[in-house]
Amino acid sequence: MNKIDYKSVGVDIDKGNKFVKMIKEICKSDNIGGFSGLFPYKDITLAATTDGVGTKIEIVKRLNKYDTIGIDLVAMSVNDLIVQGAKPLFFLDYIGVNEIELDKCTDIIKGINEGCRQAKCKLIGGETAEMPGLYQNNNFDITGFSVGVIEKDKMFPRKVNNGDLLFGLKSTGVHSNGFTLIRKLLEENEYSLEELLTPTKIYVEEIEKIIDDLNENLKGFSHITGGGIIDNLPRILSDEQTFKLDNQWVVPEVFKWIKNKSNMDTDEMLRTFNCGIGIIIVVDKNIYLSKEYLYNNYEMFYIGEVIEGKEPEINIVI
């Protein structure tokens, strides 16, 4: 069986990472490339994010179901805020369409509003643009923008040490990354479109609880989106650090289906999809609470630890 990976279907993660480095050089800023952009103002720090939902939109169109994709849109931005300790304040949306279909656009906005409710922030405005010359055959795209505030003692990441423990919070499935590859697999294979459309989990309340209860033991959070665990976790580590994944978690069936039909190896899967882990939490290695306590009280799966080195050690199988 021929292997199908992200690059073979037109998405080049390495090129995307190079582009981020070029942006840093143009802007002469090392702050670009984090999960959110930070802007100190007087005695507070503002955090801002923007994101879309990728080609998950094509699944929406196939099912003609538009009332949940707005939840994904909010999730992709606010989850990037909260991993840096920010409290989401407000959200704006952009919808580009070939023409305004009131029922469709209303359903999209209902989903965005529901996402904001879950994230405990306000939808304060946005833009809907009709561009029939650009969007044809009922094509459309949506983008979201969110701003949050970070209190002084809630800034993440903090200094991570070798030996610090890694825990994972469960995803609700694929979330909103990797759909270009998934759609390629669907050309010759079947899978539940309804399951694939499951909205991205919004972790705001969960992370707030974890920060309030475990504050002094927390080192950082990594939102597992495009690039998977392998590309996103290093964003909160030093250049001399990497990680070891040595404790298997429960991998949802959808990722086993993707691996089987694409013939990708485990490393490639972990660089493309969240593989069941939506957010990774780095916890101080000297935490007095047991791994069992953290799982039972916060559903935090122990998955590995931070180590010295350049290349991650992957001792699990998907």
Q: How big is the chain, counted in residues? A: 318
Q: How far apart are CA 62 and CA 58, in angstroms?
A: 6
Asked if pLDDT for residue 23 goes beyond 80, the answer is: no
CATH code for 34-154? 3.30.1330.10
Single out the residue of 76, 311, 84 nearest to residue 200, CA to CA: 76
For the chain, what is the mean pLDDT? 93
Supply the pLDDT for residue 74: 98
132 preceded by a cis bond (ω within 30 of 0) = no
Question: Which sign, positive or negative, has the C-alpha torsion 266, 270, 273, 277?
Answer: positive
Q: Does the domain at residues 165-314 carry the CATH identifier 3.90.650.10?
A: yes
Q: Parse the chain into domains and list their residue ranges.
A: 34-154, 165-314
Q: How far apart are CA 179 and CA 185, in angstroms?
A: 10
Asked if pLDDT for residue 203 goes beyond 90, the answer is: yes
Supply the pLDDT for residue 293: 93
Supply the pLDDT for residue 26: 66
Decide whether 34-154 matches 165-314 in CATH topology.
no
- Each residue of 83-121: pLDDT tens digit? 999 999 999 999 999 999 999 999 999 999 999 999 999
- Each residue of 211-225: pLDDT tens digit? 999 989 999 999 999
